[in-house]
Structure 1
Amino acid sequence: MTDFLFPGLNLAVTTPFDDRGGVDLDAFEDHLERYIAAGVDGFVLSSGTGMHVYLSREESDRLVARGARVIGSRARIIVQTSALLVEDVIARTRHAADHGAEGVMALPPFFEGPTDDDDLLAFYEAAAEGGLPIIGYNVPQAVGVGISPDLLRRLSEIPNFHAVKDSSGDLAQQSDLARTGLPVMNGADPLVPYALYAGAAGLIWGGANFAPRTCVALVTAATEGRWAEAREIWRALEPAMNLIWQGDYAQSVYAAAEMTGYGAGHPRRPLRALGAEKREALGAALGDLVARERDAVPA
């Protein structure tokens, strides 16, 4: 659809932490510049991959303010505003709007939260009071409740509800959502080329943190219908994208980004840095992505 606001690759960007585990806002500026230079279309600030649930409200707000200032008009800005209290979702959304964000992404409340369609609808109706286009976040394995095609149709009647990001990892389920004709964004790393072929309107991609140039090339090829080229690029990405999806997701993304020259320090407690054995497996899965991305990183 021509009026879709978030096409292409929207990077669920990692948050840099210093040696003491604090958010490193100065490093964040350089971090964003590398991804902008790589051609990323948009950013999700305070993303899940960026440790959103382990940031305080104040830290997240500062991160959004600094990130939005650095990005400016050079890429689109999406902010994750998920919170347990809908009032916090609204307040975070208004803060994002004040700093130039073009949209927000929000999970349903994720601890003993809504369990049926009417409750989910009521939540997103309230969240829409924040005033920005909303991307609903479908990750039933984490939240315990999912967005069905019927619910998506109802959600689309909310004026500010713009799309759903599907991170279920189930291509059949995502295809069911896409067949509604409403915008669906893929959020499952191993499904990227298949989701694009099936009609995904855009991507929110955490794994792209460690191979942004390669991921941009894949999306460009797929968008232009050069599927043979997209398939060849995917062959380089697939082993690592499949591996990180099997567990220790954020830790693996942080470790892989360090290996390819896009490091953001270690993930924040309670998560620990990836262990030696898993790092070895990850390095093997990355293959020539390490050399490809390191050679491309601006000095």
Structure 2
Amino acid sequence: MEREQLRGIIPAIITPFTPEGEVDLKGLEGLTEYLISKGVHGIMCTGGNGEFCHLLKEEKSMVVETIAETIQGKIPVIAGTAACGTKETIILTQEAQEAGAQAAIITPPYYFRLPDDSLYEHYKTVVSNVNIPVIVYNNPLYTGNDLTPLVIQRLAEVKGIIGLKQSNPDLGQLVEIIRLAGNKIAILTGIDSQFYPSLCVGAKGIFSTAACIVPSQMVELYQAFEEESYENAFKIHTKLQSLNRFLEYEPGYVSPCKEALKMLGLAGGPVRLPLPSIDSRQKKQIGQVLKELGLLPKEGQ
């Protein structure tokens, strides 16, 4: 995968489970086909929205392989291969490549707070021991380690690092990263509610939870922006915000995403413990949002 391919709408796909809690590979295949048909530009799997930390090692490889076999090279497969330690991250990245991934997306190690030099060495060591490009994933809320603009500037000089998924909600940090490293790597946001503003300051696209549910609308937003139809792009963005709030902070993104997919007749299934399921009130609210977006028929129709 080349840096120039890292752009546009890249859904952070869920890992569907059966009612018994096993990985639903047939459902995953169907969801992948659905996303391809809507014109997305890549698929990210085994990330946070894919419940990577609740998957066994063998299951991660199964997920990557199923998606890669379904896509057949039409768009890139980007596999999350994060782990607490550098050695395990290398192994997971190698296994993702064997399963068919064209790139790996990697958060900083989590649990231990690490100094900047250790974070830099982690990525540099991983990249030097794998044969697919790496996308850095800055998500300090979940990892406890924030990659500063200066660290990302250093990482952008490392051969084999082609991009960044920026999920720090500080938009000013995104602007600074684009200033320092935007000519070296592709920089995408990971925050649906900041997609339009991120494009305005120079981001190349988004790794998106919402794009699992509304891929057509997300692609339409991106294309409108690329065609300089900024008013139309902003209109789509604000319309989708009613969905984004459920995925980002009311109550959190995995359960609402899976519930929305199930309502649309797509594979979802339960989340794995200890993640909470959503309650009946939240289900009703999500259903109402899908109706407002025209994805479900309104009462009386």
Q: 1:259 aligns with which of 255, 260, 263?
A: 263
Q: Distance in 1 between matches of 2:155 and 2:132?
A: 15
Equivalent residue for 2:30?
30
8 Å Cα contact 1:165-1:185 kept in structure 2: yes
Match of 2:16 in 1: 16
Matched, 1:104 2:104: yes
- SS of the equivalent of 1:47 reads coil
**Cross-structure match for 2:292:** 288
Structure 1: gaps spanning 5 or more residues = 295-299
| One-letter amino acid matched to 1:8 | G
Residue in structure 1 matched with residue 221 of structure 2 by the alignment: 218
Q: CA RMSD in A?
A: 1.9
CA distance in 2, matches of 1:20, 1:262: 17
Q: Aligned-pair distance for 1:80?
A: 0.4
**Structure 2 counterpart of 1:276, from 272, 280, 300:** 280
Q: Take 1:45 and 1:206, find their aligned partners in 2: how far apart are those partners?
A: 11
User: How do residues 175-186 of structure 1 correspond to structure 2 at under 5 angstroms?
Assistant: 175-182=175-182, 183-186=186-189
Q: Secondary structure at the match of 1:18?
A: coil
Deviations 1:143-190 (A, max 9, x none): 112111111111112111122211112212211211214232100111
* Corresponding residue SS for 2:180: coil
Counterpart in the other structure of 1:124: 123
Name the count of aligned residue pairs. 292
Deviation, 1:4, is 2.6
Deviations 1:30-85 (A, max 9, x none): 11111111111100121211111110111101111121111111111100001122
Match of 1:232 in 2: 235
Shift of 1:3: 4.6
Contact kept in structure 2, 1:239 and 1:286, CA below 8 Å: no
SS in 2 for 1:242: helix
Q: Structure 2: how far apart are the matches of 1:24 and 1:52?
A: 15
Deviations 1:95-125, CA, capped at 9 Å, x for gaps: 2222332211011111115x21100011001
Q: Distance in 2 between matches of 1:98 and 1:86?
A: 19
Partner AA of 1:253 in structure 2 = C
Corresponding residue of 1:87: 87
Higher mean alpha-carbon deviation, 254-263 vs 185-194, is at 254-263
Could you give the per-residue CA deviations for residues 268-288 of structure 1, whole angstroms, max 9, x where no partner exists? 222232111122232333443
Q: Which amino acid aligns with 1:275?
A: D
The alpha-carbon deviation at position 221 of structure 1 amounts to: 1.0
Unaligned runs of 5+ in 2: none
Residues 33-112 of structure 1 mapped to structure 2, 5 A cutoff: 33-112=33-112
What is the rounded CA distance, in whole Å, between the counterparts of 2:265 and 2:221 in structure 1?
19
| Aligned-pair identity (%) | 27
| 1:224-245 Cα distance to aligned partner (Å, 9 max, x none) | 2211111221232111112321
Q: Using a 3 Å threshold, how does the CA distance of structure 1 residues 225 and 211 change in structure 2: closer, same or farther?
A: same
- State the secondary structure of the residue aligned to 2:295: helix
Query: Normalised by the size of structure 2, how large is the TM-score?
Result: 0.91
> Which one-letter code corresponds to 2:156 in the other structure?
S
